[in-house]
Structure 1
Amino acid sequence: MSIPMQRLPEQQPSVWQPASVKEAIQLQKQWGDAAVVVAGGTWLRTRWENGVSAVPQHLISLGRIPALKSLSMDERRVVLKDGEHELMGPLYIRYGPLLSLSAVMTSELTREHAPLLLQACAEVAAPSIRNMATIGGNVMTRTGDLIPALLVLDAQVVLSDGGQERKLSLQAWLAATADPSEIMTGILLPLQATTGESKSCQFYLKAGRREAFTPSVVTVAGELTFQPDGTIASAKLAAGGGTAIPARLTQAEALLTGQPLSKALLKKLHSVAYEQCAAVPDDYAGIAYRKTTAANLIVSECYKAWRGSKGGGADAPES
């Protein structure tokens, strides 16, 4: 979709291409609200074309900062003592925020260690858009479809003030007010140690107004870990969609943890998930529809995960 001629600004925005994060932050401070930091620009362009946001006077492109396009394994290790055993602490995959979604999807690190993120990326827009859209841009919108998956994966964001970097959980970052004096320089995914005694199942679902290439009405993600007897050892659930800020469903997680799955528990899960899911209405879907859809998807996927943990048996949970 192109901008109608009558809506084109009299003067196109100035495009700045800083060579470092420090320089980008200096430009951001210099221009203030008249400037917008841009990565792939796919989300910003739709907002400008739909009249949601005004075209800014200045665009600060991060495309010339090589470090923001990197993808690496964090080699720092922490030795933890557990009785007589020494365990290696989790490593991290570090995604540069300017990595395109296509680059994230084709990475062997993603395929091996973060298949849930790969699945979420595959649900975003069309392939041509995924070649331009970036993982950092999706997160920076605070409503991106990748965020529920990243929340379930316990992602952290790395922020820089041009001098020093700091880490913050994605969940905490979403709950805080954005600091204009910082730029996101990394997204970290911890690699969790696995044991042979438990089995984990992950899921990601996006419901839209049509089957493909559509904005989300609801996105849900989850990870359930089961003990050999079918008891839920741990649960991670997250939901978002539309213009709602995604969040972990901590009450639903607490409800499931330590419990064997049952029809009564699934019914209660639906109620708790419905209450905790954030939803913002628009012209296409109201709050009740979004919350009901999210709760339905979560209950359905938890049941499927339970069946998978039992070897695919058809037996329903006991009431």
Structure 2
Amino acid sequence: MDAISYQRAADVNGAIAAAQRPGAAFIGGGTNLLDLMKGGIAHPVTLVDITHIAALDTIETLPNGGLRIGALVRNSDAANHTLVRTRYPLLSQALLAGASPQLRNMATVGGNLMQRTRCAYFYDTAFAQCNKRSPGSGCAAIGGFNRMHAVLGASAQCVAVNPSDMSVALAALEATVQVNGPRGSRAIAFGAFHRLPGDRPDLDTTLQSGELITSVDLPPPLFSEHSHYLKVRDRASYAFALVSVASALQLDGNHVRAVRIALGGVAHRPWRASVAEHHLTGKMLSAATLREAAAAELAQAKPLNGNAFKVGLAQRAIIRSTMLAAAGTQGTTAENAAENNAGDFA
């Protein structure tokens, strides 16, 4: 058993100072980090408890009309907050589609951003080949069982996918991640927060050493009336997405004034479907236009031997999610956010 020291931080500056020690890691809800430690994947020397830092567990309106969600806000609290449900229903739906009620009651918004892939080869240390866990060792998933793995943005070094539902919605909403660290504070556009694997799949994000997420900022709400989060999975609860889609629209009648689409379950990071967005913007929304947009987005896919079905599945999920968004936001219950299983789309 590894020896671990524990330190409770009283404020942000204290947490950052404590994290400068070699082998230090921040801990909030611990829903992912503790699993990684028990599995022998993460080996922190010091746990810096940030759960008692004031002002990181609040949700407040920003001067520009946007919303600031503190990094320590629990997923369940964020999903059920009045301002999130009414102004950003896409985010509420995505949060309620993730994990289980028990985990959502513990998991934090900041921790959700940092959760690591659920690739079985990453989690099972009996497999020596995992570039994400042991850089330079290879990727067992490429020639192994890869049904759940990436079809977009992967590399010869890693084909793992990002597991977060929340992050897919945040990508579509163009959120900003606020961080503080030894070199001061900075804002990271959400599209630049998570990395594609390239030749460094061990690096999941663009956070620098010792930096602490303090909040996620949402821009003023533009898509409250027309948004939908669709999660396609093998079973109706407590399962990671085969494919998920966050769709948000601004419509003039049936004319697409603006559109945001992001995909989950298909790439190393939440995948912004910019090609599909380009095909839809300024056009009349129709099944034919949606089919064209979805096909164009997935034209760049590079499926593996076990997950070619995801290409067609993602196209159909884009079409359905966007049509449901166009029909109007229909509430934020977990049943609505996760209404389908893989069989509906096979």
Unaligned runs of 5+ in 1: 1-8, 77-89, 310-319
The structural deviation recorded for 1:220 is: 1.2
Distance 2:225 2:232 in 1: 24
Question: In 2, are the aligned partners of 1:100 and 1:134 still within 8 Å (CA)?
Answer: yes
Alignment of 1:67 with 2:55, yes or no, is yes
Residues 261, 274 of structure 2: 8 Å contact kept: yes
Instruction: Tell me, yes or no, if the aligned pair for 2:69 and 2:215 is still in contact at 8 Å.
Output: yes
Greater radius of gyration (CA) = 1
Of the candidates 117, 125, 135, which is equivalent to residue 109 of structure 2? 135
Within a 5 Å distance, the mapping from 1:271-290 to structure 2 comes to: 271-275=295-299, 286-290=306-310
Q: Which has the higher strand share?
A: 1
Which aligned pairs between 1:165-184 and structure 2 lie closer than 5 A?
165-175=185-195, 177-184=206-213
Choose from 293, 315, 322 the match for 1:295: 315
Equivalent position SS for 2:322: helix
TM-score scaled by length of structure 2: 0.72
Please tell me whether the aligned partners of residues 222 and 238 of structure 1 are also in contact (alpha carbons under 8 angstroms): yes
Instruction: Map residues 111-190 of structure 1 onto 2, 5 A cutoff.
Output: 111-141=85-115, 143=162, 144-161=164-181, 164-175=184-195, 177-190=206-219
Deviation at 1:130, TM superposition (A): 0.9
Give the letter for the 1:148 counterpart. Answer: V
Equivalent pair of 2:247/2:325 in contact (CA under 8 Å): no
Aligned-partner Cα distance in 2 for 1:306–1:21 = 42
Please name the residue that 2:248 is paired with. Answer: 223
On the 8 A contact 1:223/1:237 being kept in 2, the answer is yes
Aligned pairs for 1:1-319 (under 5 A) are 9=1, 11-31=2-22, 34-51=23-40, 53-74=41-62, 76=63, 90-141=64-115, 143=162, 144-161=164-181, 164-175=184-195, 177-192=206-221, 200-228=225-253, 230-241=254-265, 244-275=268-299, 286-306=306-326
Partners of 1:212 and 1:249 in 2: how far apart? 26
Give how far 1:242 is off. Answer: 7.0
Three-state SS of the structure 2 residue aligned to 1:299 is: helix
CA 1:263 to 1:105, structure 2 compared with 1: closer, same or farther past 3 Å? closer
Please state how far the C-alpha of 1:192 moved relative to its aligned partner: 2.9
Q: CA deviation at 1:12?
A: 4.2
- Which letter does structure 1 place at the counterpart of 2:282? G
Give the conservation status (yes or no) of the 8 Å contact 1:271–1:295: yes
Task: Say whether the 8 Å CA contact 1:244–1:278 is kept in structure 2.
Answer: no
What is the distance in 1 between the residues matched to 2:275 and 2:6? Answer: 45
Q: Distance in 2 between matches of 1:270 and 1:156?
A: 26
Contact 2:227–2:326, Cα closer than 8 Å, also in 1: no
Separation (CA, whole Å) in 2 of partners of 1:20 and 1:153: 29
User: Do 1:249 and 1:277's aligned partners in 2 also have CA atoms closer than 8 Å?
Assistant: no
**Deviation (angstroms), 1:163:** 7.2
Q: For 2:184 and 2:5, how far apart are their aligned partners in 1? A: 28
Contact 1:22 / 1:163 at 8 angstroms: preserved in 2?
Answer: no
Deviations 1:121-140 (A, max 9, x none): 11111111111001111112
* Number of residues of Structure 1 aligned to a counterpart in Structure 2: 274
Q: CA deviation at 1:49?
A: 3.8
Report the secondary structure of 1:41's partner residue.
coil
Return the letter of the residue paired with 1:209: D
In 2: Cα distance, 1:263 partner to 1:181 partner:
48
Distance 1:252 1:193 in 2: 19
Percent of paired sites with the same residue:
30
Q: Which has the higher contact order (CA 8 A, sep 6+)?
A: 2
| 8 Å Cα contact 1:155-1:188 kept in structure 2 | yes
- Relative to the length of structure 1, the TM-score reads 0.77
CA–CA distance in structure 1, aligned partners of residues 32 and 275 of structure 2: 32
1:40–1:276 distance in 2 versus 1, CA, 3 Å: farther
Compute the displacement of 1:208 (Å): 2.1
Q: Distance in 1 between matches of 2:52 and 2:206?
A: 27
- Residues 109/262 of structure 1: CA separation in 2 closer, same or farther (3 Å cut): closer
Q: How far is the alpha carbon of 1:177 from its aligned partner?
A: 2.5
How far did 1:278 drift? Answer: 8.7
Q: 134-143 or 116-125: which moved more? A: 134-143
> Which residue type is aligned with residue 214 of structure 2?
T
Write 1 or 2 for the structure with the bigger share of helix: 1
- Determine the structure 2 residue equivalent to 1:315: none
